[in-house]
Amino acid sequence: MRALNLLGLSTVLVLAQYAAAQTWYFLTFFTPPGSYITSYSGSFVAPTLPQAATYYLWPGLQPSDNAGVLQPVLDGRSGTWWIGSGWCCSNPSLPWGSGFNVANGQTVRFSLKVNSISGGTWATNLTSSAGGAATGSFPLPTHPMNQAIIAIELYNVAWNFGQFAFSNVVIVANTTSTSWCTNGPTNYQKAAVVSMSTPTATVSGGQTTCSIASVILVRPA
């Protein structure tokens, strides 16, 4: 249920030299410098889990200092998907939120919301189409978030479960700039084939709401 944080791309690249069995596929929306995310929500479908193995599939938020990742992680280690939210992995050290099992093909809705960017307690809310529900509270006042991520993180196993599909993804940030949304996310090392609807941005009250109807990590590139 824990996933390594990304710690910036350089660290990932260094780690890759020593841990070749770890594989990353991820998309990142970066907000402009000095602006931060206040809310990140959406739904995704749990793929069919091929076997018990360290499959970590997640949406998450990362702060500009890359101190960790706030992430609801769909975890395949037991052979049945389990999801719970956590702040990985330290600074501060916080307990993980509760979670629930997710059957293959179920839809999970996630919502991560902060009460104030500078005050910084994140409320997490997970629900599934089968009635699973879990909430969490993560005080992270010194870590305003500037990266909204969708990730497939694998250890000693291949991306062999088919697509990882999100719908109704919404990211809210305190900026009137919209290009961070409409230009779309970065695709780490272009490692994944991505199918995505065009992101739309609406500006109101000094905030931009970025909506993406569908974003799918289809398969390895």
Ligand X SMILES: *[C@@H]1O[C@H](CO)[C@@H](O)[C@H](O)[C@H]1NC(C)=O
3-state DSSP helix/strand/coil % of the chain, to nearest 5: 10, 55, 40
Piece of the chain touching ligand X by CB under 6 A; list 48-56, 73-81, 111-119, 183-191: 111-119
Q: What does each C-alpha distance from 83 to 14, 27, 31, 139, 141 come to in angstroms?
A: 29, 20, 27, 20, 24
Alpha-carbon span 124 to 85, nearest angstrom:
7
Alpha-carbon span 106 to 93, nearest angstrom:
31
For ligand X (CB under 6 A), the number of binding residues is: 13
Smallest gap from residue 4 Cβ to ligand X (A): 27
- How far is CA 71 from its chain centroid? 6
Smallest gap from residue 133 Cβ to ligand X (A): 7
124 makes contact with ligand X (CB under 6 A): no
Kindly write out the interface string for residues 48-87 of this chain, putting x where it contacts ligand X by CB under 6 A and - elsewhere: ----------------------------------------
Smallest gap from residue 175 Cβ to ligand X (A): 5
CA-based nearest residue to 216, from 81, 48, 54, 44:
44
Piece of the chain touching ligand X by CB under 6 A; list 55-63, 117-125, 163-171, 183-191: 117-125
Smallest gap from residue 20 Cβ to ligand X (A): 39
Scanning the structure block, which residue is given the tokens 């690249």? 13
167 makes contact with ligand X (CB under 6 A): no
174 makes contact with ligand X (CB under 6 A): yes
Whether a cis peptide bond, with omega within 30° of 0, leads into 141 is no
Residues in contact with ligand X by the rule CB under 6 A: 34-36, 109, 111, 117-118, 125, 127, 135, 174-175, 206
